[in-house]
Amino acid sequence: MHPAFSVIFFTVSSGAGFGLFALLYLADALKLGGGLSTNQLLIAGIIGLVLISAGLMSSMFHLANPKNAWRAFSRWRTSWLSREGVFAMVFFPFAVVYLGLTWLGMKEFETLRMLAGGMSMLLAWITIFSTGMIYGCLKTIRQWNTPLVPANYLLLGHFSGALLLLIVAQTGTVEVSSYLNIVLALLVFAAALKAIYYFWIANPGVVSTINTATGFTRARVKLLDAGHTHGTFLTQEFGFQVARQYALFLKAFVFSAGFLIPLLALFGMFGTLTSGLTIIVAIMALLGLIAERWLFFAEARHVVNLFHGAQRC
Amino acid sequence: MRLGLVIDLDVCVGCHACAVACKEWNASGTTAPMTDYQPYGAEPSGVWFNRIRHYEVGEYPNSKTINFPMSCMHCEDADCVTVCPTGASYKRAEDGIVLVDQTKCMGCNYCSWACPYGARELDRESGTMKKCTLCVDRIYDLKIPVEERQPACVNTCPAHARMFGDFDDPNSAVSIEVRERGGYALLPELGYNPTNQYLPVRKAKPIPTENLGKPGFKEKLKGFANRIVKR
Ligand code: SF4
Ligand code: SF4
């Protein structure tokens, strides 16, 4: 599949934003490390909202006819893309109420504040899951049609969100070790799942072939002529292929920048961790995740390629 | 009603006439226009509802070239419709035709991702998704003579490799042909239940190319004539 930068940025940015917000609420509710200060809660919350909004805005650039984008909320009964939009929009009022009441800090509204926060956490989870299912539900792309995909989106969103939360936590007086532990735990799970995913896609198992695509199942089938002189929409959108060497190199980058270097940096600096260093680690990890998302698209092979001569997908 | 096409792979000669007729009719049809990019330039490309590909099946000398027209299959379980977030993609209950409402489409490409047959192409000019309409504006047009109320591709095919009809009616020509000739669907394992069906190539004796035996009298005469006549 053709990797569109707007979609890559959208999934990484809004994933991190939703992950950050959900963890922020959990940290707040459990008074993690003594509890974040009001200012910290607000700053983290606003970073989350900015990331989510930037992501949603970027996803608009992917549309060829954005003036009809408002209609995308109408098919939430069947379409995961529509569901994602609806849940993301429903998330905003709860998140704003939660942050607003946090800002006001009035004791009599505490229950309402926690309720709104809890709802925004749930909606954040559902939204990331929906983003994953946009890809996971497609039967046409074997590399996406697996529960590993939404799980991957959830874990990576929370991992990057946790890193950002750690940065915020470091600016105050809270005990940061519990925040650090959350980052490390999510990092390990996310990396393990990503590794499982890469092993899983490497072994195709039973797949559609050029034979089932054409119906000539008893002989070898070879494309003689695709029937077009130059590329078509189909070759542009689905014909993208990444060289094996390049993919391997990028995978190494995903694991080193996304997981290994952050792990070593965070472990090594356990006592002396400063928020400046964590920012560098977070930028590193986000670059890793962008590479991860790029590969997620580049390595996906749509079955339509079978009609253009691919022997299997 | 379940309208669709039958394509006889044994008969298709790969002339692309159906694709051209389709383009001609639909350039001013319900989803018009069908934009061309650089039609006279170095990289001509554009929107087509119907594309013909050519395959070699089997190994020489028992191989055969098969021409393979493909358009929207008007699937029974069309994921392109379920995934569409705007409701622009829909399947008509009355005749099973799958269409895109050009006034609702936001050009997200999602339906094209869901279609295994490459039947949907984004028109970069209008920013909307385009696809085969089964010439919905032609097959119901009472001003057209009855026998011509068929999709443009079917009407034009010089080899009569295409047939159009109602698959829900067991006595329709399409149902009978599919039943009798073992018509099949493409990529059945994906479960889209496409309406369009393909008729397989008939078994033909391979033409021998080796161990042909001694030439008979006729061959000898031909060989002699070939040697003495200057070409
Ligand atoms: S062939 Fe593709 S576009 Fe046509 S109905 Fe089936 S899935 Fe939809
Ligand atoms: S491109 Fe148009 S028809 Fe296709 S899914 Fe998007 S909005 Fe629906």
Range B98-118 burial, b when 16+ CB lie within 10 A, else e? bbbbbebbbbbbbbbbbbbbb
What's the pLDDT at A271? 67
**Residues 6+ positions from A148 with CB-CB distance below 8 Å:** A193, A196, A197, A200
Residue carrying structure tokens 């397989």: B200
Two structure tokens written together for B228: 């003495």
- Residues paired with residue B8 on neighbouring β-strands, in sequence order: B199
| B12/chain A closest Cα distance in angstroms | 14
Pair B151, B134: CB distance under 8 Å: yes
ipTM value of the model? 0.94
B56/A71 touch (CB, cutoff 8 Å), yes or no: no
Spatial distance between the Cα atoms of B156 and B23, rounded to a whole number of angstroms: 12
Nearest CA in chain A to B37: A232
What's the pLDDT at B15? 97
B45/A66 touch (CB, cutoff 8 Å), yes or no: no
Torsion-angle region of residue B134: left (phi > 0), alpha (psi -120 to 50) or beta? left
Residue with the larger pLDDT of the pair A122 and B204? A122
What's the pLDDT at B114? 98
Spatial distance between the Cα atoms of A1 and A237, rounded to a whole number of angstroms: 6
Give me the number of domains chain B comprises. Answer: 1
What's the pLDDT at B231? 65
Question: Which pLDDT tens digit goes with each residue over B161-173?
Answer: 999 999 999 999 9
Q: What angle do CA B130, B15, B63 make, to 5 degrees?
A: 110
Residues of chain A contacting B16 with CB distance shorter than 8 Å: 227
What's the pLDDT at B34? 94
Nearest to A72 among B53, B79, B106 (CB): B106
A229 in contact with chain B, both atoms CB, cutoff 8 A: yes
**How would DSSP label each residue in B114-142?**
H-TT---EEETTTTEEE---TTHHHHT-T
Spatial distance between the Cα atoms of B130 and B110, rounded to a whole number of angstroms: 13
* Protein residue closest via CA to atom 7 of ligand 1: B115
Q: In which residue ranges of chain A is pLDDT below 50?
A: none
A60 in contact with chain B, both atoms CB, cutoff 8 A: no
A229/B70 touch (CB, cutoff 8 Å), yes or no: no
Residue carrying structure tokens 């890793």: A288
Spatial distance between the Cα atoms of B134 and B31, rounded to a whole number of angstroms: 12
Max Cα-Cα span within chain B:
75
| Residue A204 CA: distances (Å) to CA of A132, A201, B27 | 21, 6, 41
Spatial distance between the Cα atoms of B146 and B140, rounded to a whole number of angstroms: 9
Q: Mutation test of the interface with chain B: which of A56, A224, A308, choosing the one with the most B Cβ atoms within 10 A?
A: A224
Percentage with pLDDT > 70 across chain B: 100
Nearest to A71 among B44, B104, B128 (CB): B104
N-term to C-term CA, chain A: 12
Centroid of ligand 2 to alpha carbon of B141 (angstroms): 27
Ligand 1 nearest-atom number relative to CA B89 = 8
Torsion-angle region of residue B64: left (phi > 0), alpha (psi -120 to 50) or beta? beta
Residues of chain A contacting B186 with CB distance shorter than 8 Å: 212-215
Please name which of B97, B101, B105, B130 lies closest in space to residue A232, comparing C-alpha atoms: B130
What's the pLDDT at A173? 86
Ligand 2 lined by B107 (C-beta under 6 Å): yes
Task: Give SS3 for B42.
Answer: coil
Residue with the larger pLDDT of the pair B48 and A229? B48
A232 in contact with chain B, both atoms CB, cutoff 8 A: yes
Residues with CB under 6 A from ligand 1: B 72-75, 78-80, 98, 115, 117, 119-120, 131, 192, 194
Residues of chain B contacting A73 with CB distance shorter than 8 Å: 85
Nearest to B190 among A134, A140, A229 (CB): A140
Task: Give the distance, in angstroms, between the CA of residue A259 and the centroid of all CA atoms in the same chain.
Answer: 15
**Residues 6+ positions from A258 with CB-CB distance below 8 Å:** A191, A194, A284, A285, A287, A288, A289, A291, A292
| A73/chain B closest Cα distance in angstroms | 7
B127/A64 touch (CB, cutoff 8 Å), yes or no: yes
Question: Which pLDDT tens digit goes with each residue over B86-128?
Answer: 999 999 999 999 999 999 999 999 999 999 999 999 999 999 9
A137 in contact with chain B, both atoms CB, cutoff 8 A: yes
Please name which of A135, A244, A128, A259 lies closest in space to residue A192, comparing C-alpha atoms: A259
Ligand 1 pocket mutation, candidates B49, B71, B73, criterion most atoms within 8 A of CB: B73
pTM of the full structure? 0.93
pLDDT at B20 over 80: yes
Q: Which residue segments constitute the domains of chain A, with CATH numbers given?
A: 5-307 (1.20.1630.10)
B213: pLDDT confidence band, cut at 50, 70 and 90?
A: confident
pLDDT at B78 over 90: yes
Q: What angle do CA B115, B116, B120 make, to 5 degrees?
A: 40
Two structure tokens written together for B77: 């379980």
Range B129-148 burial, b when 16+ CB lie within 10 A, else e? bbbbbbbbebbeeeeeeeee
Please name which of A196, A226, A169, A140 lies closest in space to residue A40, comparing C-alpha atoms: A169
Nearest to B121 among A73, A225, A232 (CB): A232
Pair A209, A311: CB distance under 8 Å: yes
Query: What is the CATH number for B31?
Result: 3.30.70.20
| Residue A226 CA: distances (Å) to CA of A122, A211, A305, B112 | 48, 16, 11, 19
Q: How many CB pairs under 8 A join A and B?
A: 175
Structural domain for B46, as ranges: 3-230
Max Cα-Cα span within chain A:
76
Q: How many CA atoms lie within 13 A of A27 on its CB side?
A: 35
Pair B122, B130: CB distance under 8 Å: yes
